[in-house]
Amino acid sequence: MTTEFADFAATQDARNTIQLNVRKYTLMLCDALKMNYIERSIKSHNISIAAGNEVGDYHQKSIEALKNGESDYDFFIEEGRKYLKIVMDARGSKSVHAFVDKKTGEVYKPASFKSPAKIVRFNLLNIASREECFARADWAGGYLYVR
């Protein structure tokens, strides 16, 4: 099957829009993951305070820093040829959190630092799948396991 240049040019705009949407939703996923980390950390510090494990005012200062958006963990995107790699940076130690296919928006659990697992976990271009992904998103990656 040969593709005429006119056909290619006509569909290029749609392909660009899809790729921009995939990037936008991937950035939204990174934000959701960071917010999940902050919420869970605040909860953990509050549990320690309630249990009487207050070491000076360490937990209270940590809660204030977290509420101001300061965090030891950060999530960002590294772009590859085929995938957007969501990387988690924890105090200078980097690990891959997930892979997102740039053309289809499919989210994969990482098999290694360089490649995704074979099974698609979510699709960011599908509204229902994207909402489920954002609702279940957890900074530690538990939502990426197949059930």
pLDDT at 9: 78
Burial class (CB in 10 A: 0-12, 13-18, 19+), 71: middle
pLDDT at 4: 81
Residue in the block written with tokens 């590294």: 78
Report pTM.
Answer: 0.88
Residues of the chain by 3-state class (helix, strand, coil), percent to 5: 45, 25, 30
pLDDT at 71: 87
Residue 99 in contact with residue 86, Cβ under 8 Å? yes
Residue 47 in contact with residue 59, Cβ under 8 Å? no
Residue in the block written with tokens 């249990």: 51
Please name the helix (run of DSSP H) or strand (run of DSSP E) that holds residue 64, with its range, or none: helix 58-67
pLDDT at 40: 94
Domains: count for the chain? 1
pLDDT at 2: 62
pLDDT 10s digit of each residue in the chain, 147 long? 566 877 777 788 888 899 999 999 999 999 999 999 999 999 998 888 888 776 768 888 888 999 998 888 999 999 999 999 999 998 889 999 999 999 999 999 999 999 999 999 999 999 999 999 999 999 999 999 987
CA gap 145, 147 in Å, rounded: 6
Which structural domain range is residue 17 located in? 5-144
pLDDT at 8: 78
Q: What is the largest CA-CA distance in the chain?
A: 72
CA gap 88, 127 in Å, rounded: 25
Amino acid letter for position 106: E
